[in-house]
Amino acid sequence: MDNASDEAQRVKEAEQAFDRKRRTIGLFGAPILAVLVFLTPIDGLTLEAHKLLAIMVLVALWWITEPVPIPVTSLIGPTLAVVTGVVPVGTAFSAFANSMIFLFMGGFILAKAMMSHGLDKRFAYWLLSRSWVGSNPKRIFLAIGLAAALCSGWVSNTATAAMMFPICLGLLNSIKEMFAANGRNIDLNEYKYATGLMLMTAYSCSIGGVLTPIGTPPNLIMLGFLGQMADIHISFFQWMVWGFIAMVFYFIIAYIVLSHMFPADVDRIDGAEEFIRARIRELGGWTRAQKNTLVAFLVAVVLWITPGFLSIAFGSGDPMLAMYNRLFPEAVAAMAGALLLFILPVNFSKREFTLTWKEAMEGIEWGTLILFGGGLAMGGMMYKTGLSSWVGDLIVGSMGGEPSQIAMVAIFSVMALLLSELTSHTAATNMIGPLAITAAISAGISPIPVSVGIALSASLGFMLPVSTPPNAIVYASGYIPITKMIRTGVYIDFIGIACVTIPLAIYVVSWVVGK
């Protein structure tokens, strides 16, 4: 145990030292490099595009090195664009009112209500209490992963990991107590199953995020870029078709790898069922607030998926579908569900409603919204100044002039994966997304498959604690040696890219051609 603690402390100190150097280098190096880019003559660029290129260099490097908070960097880009005369202020900041931001905001508010009233825990414990799970460690392993993945499709990955973490700790304590009752003392820090269960929790939270557009920021960012830079709209239902396929196969890969590397050495976990039943008793019966939250959530989901069924039933060109999409776009559906939370009463005589404004504000990840808006703003300005065309032609030229769809998807997916391992997957998507879409357009191919590939790949940050918040949360348990996380992460990352992301892109190509 002491050796494990010493190793964790050394790793933490090394990470802190690396972060300090990274931030210092970025703080001074990025502005210098940006100035050098501006002073370097570049043929084919207008003055505005050249200025924006220098600003993009600064913003991208600060997103990677984080000398200031990432949302702050997202505001610096549009601000500098106005100050340097690249675009007017209305153009620079209009992206912060993009409808996708309100879709995300509505999702955040719904998720906050689910967490505040315990709806997410109720679902997780319900799944773990199923008869097919029982006390079997392999099935508990599977059920924990399923609960995390399905919750994180609708609630933030970080919140889902924070919810599942104590559940895993309780189950592992049941294992420890079972062994102690049989005269065997185990150290959970060195127990393989404990490592596997924690990793399954973290990885499933990231995997589940690909299910819906609101599951994780990269999904909405790429949908936003497609709409802004290519005038292509992908519906909530369409994304869920692709997201469901990706989630299922990513989950299968993670389960096979982790269950093989970290098997349980017992056939049953005595006390596991009692632990889950006790947690369910603590939740008590369904409250009015939980029922109201479920109603609001279902209203949003029905509004989101109805266009998909209308398209199947009447065809994509039906006037009824066009009218529905005009009246209930995804952002309005999200806000309709979220606003119901402030209208449905819990105790009308006391004027108490399902969610208070203060609770809602605590649930909105303002930094993510600002980062999202900043990325859309930079992408939009690249398009307006002609910088995106120049960059796209440059990328396509470096790839031989006529890159195939699959090569484009593979290259940008790997780029998104590697970058998301080192920095925020939201920032990584903001950097890679506009480049990929402009390159695809310059090459004369559909930007949809490469956009889907980037969004999915950015969610596969499994190698390091800093890659995603769920990784950091479970790593704090002390049950996961850093070498184990790196090794398993490499396997799942690249198996996922090769066996899921690229084949899914082929499926998307066939879908696009069919349209």
3-state secondary structure 255-296: HHHHHHHCCCCCCCCCCHHHHHHHHHHHHCCCCHHHHHHHHH
Give the integer Cα–Cα distance in Å for 477 and 165: 9
DSSP one-letter code for 287: P
d(CA 440, CA 430) in angstroms, rounded, equals: 16
User: How many Å apart are CA 281 and CA 514, to the nearest integer?
Assistant: 51
| 377 occurs within a structural domain | no
Residue 413 and residue 132 in contact, taking contact as beta carbons nearer than 8 Å: no
Amino acid letter, 70: I
299 in any annotated domain: yes
Say if residue 298 is in the same domain as residue 352.
yes
Structure tokens belonging to residue 458: 């950015």
Whether 456 maps to a domain, the answer reads no
128 phi/psi in degrees, rounded to 5: -70, -20
Its domain, for residue 333, covers 96-117+287-364
* 3-state SS class at 346: strand
Comparing CA positions, the residue from 490, 479, 470, 501 lying closest to residue 145 is 470
- 333 and 291, same domain (yes or no): yes
The residue whose two tokens read 């199947």 is 312
Co-location of 296 and 331 in the same domain: yes
pTM here is 0.82
325: its two tokens: 């999409």
Residue 260 has φ and ψ, to the nearest 5°, of -75, -40
Three-point CA angle 315, 321, 325, nearest 5°: 140
Q: Do the Cβ atoms of 204 and 144 come closer than 8 Å?
A: yes
Nearest-angstrom CA–CA distance, 287 and 402: 60
DSSP 8-state code for residue 353: E
Q: Where are the alpha helices (DSSP H) in 40-136?
A: 47-65, 70-83, 89-93, 99-116, 119-128
Question: Residues 6 or more apart from 326 whose CB is under 8 A from it?
Answer: none
Question: Which residues are 352's β-sheet partners?
Answer: 347
Is there a single domain that holds both residue 29 and residue 81? Answer: yes
Asked if residue 25 is part of any domain, the answer here is yes
Tokens of 456: 């999915």
Show which of 364, 392, 410 is a domain's final residue.
364
- Give the C-alpha separation, 473 to 465, whole Å: 8
Residues 77 and 100 in one domain: no
Do 33 and 78 share a structural domain?
yes
Q: Which of 331, 364, 397 is the last residue of a domain?
A: 364
Helix count and strand count (H, E) for the chain = 24, 2
Give the pLDDT confidence score for residue 53 in this predicted structure.
Answer: 92
Q: What is the pLDDT of residue 513?
A: 52
What is the distance between the alpha carbons of residues 124 and 150, in angstroms, rounded to a whole number? 9
Domain tally for the chain?
A: 2
21/53 same-domain check = yes
- Say if CB 442 and CB 396 are below 8 A apart: yes
Question: Is the residue at 122 inside a domain?
Answer: no
Pairing of strands 352-353, 345-347: antiparallel
Q: Identify the helix (H) or strand (E) that includes residue 347.
A: strand 345-347
User: Does residue 295 lie in a domain region?
Assistant: yes
User: From CA 1, how far away is CA 478, in angstroms rounded?
Assistant: 9
- Answer yes or no: do 9 and 82 share one domain: yes
Q: Which two tokens stand for residue 467?
A: 């890659």
7 and 26 inside one domain: yes
Q: Which of these three, 341, 364, 387, is where a domain ends?
A: 364
Question: How would DSSP label each residue in 123-176?
Answer: HHHHHHTSTTTTT-HHHHHHHHHHHHHHHHTTS-HHHHHHHHHHHHHHHHHHHH
Give the model confidence (pLDDT) of 166-176 as tens digits. 888 888 887 77
pLDDT tens readout for residues 417-469: 888 887 778 888 888 888 889 888 888 888 988 999 999 888 888 887 777 78
- The helix/strand/coil state of 54 is helix
> 330 and 301, same structural domain?
yes
Whether residue 209 contacts residue 459, with contact meaning beta carbons closer than 8 Å, is answered with yes
Amino acid 75: pLDDT: 93
Distance CA 430, CA 371 (A): 8
| Cβ atoms within 10 Å, residue 166 | 11
Residues 449-462 as b/e (b if ≥16 CB within 10 A, e otherwise) read bbbbbbbbbbbbbb
- C-beta neighbour count of 122 within 10 angstroms: 19
The reported pLDDT for the residue numbered 1 is 46
DSSP 43: T
Does 80 share its domain with 111? no
* Nearest-angstrom CA–CA distance, 218 and 206: 11
pLDDT of residue 476: 78
Per the structure block, which two tokens stand in for 237?
A: 């239902």
Do 49 and 12 reside in the same domain of the chain? yes
Residues shown for the chain: 515
pLDDT < 50 regions, the chain: 1
Mean pLDDT over all residues of the chain?
A: 85
Q: Is residue 108 part of a domain?
A: yes
β-strand partners of 345: 353
In a domain, residue 32? The reply is: yes
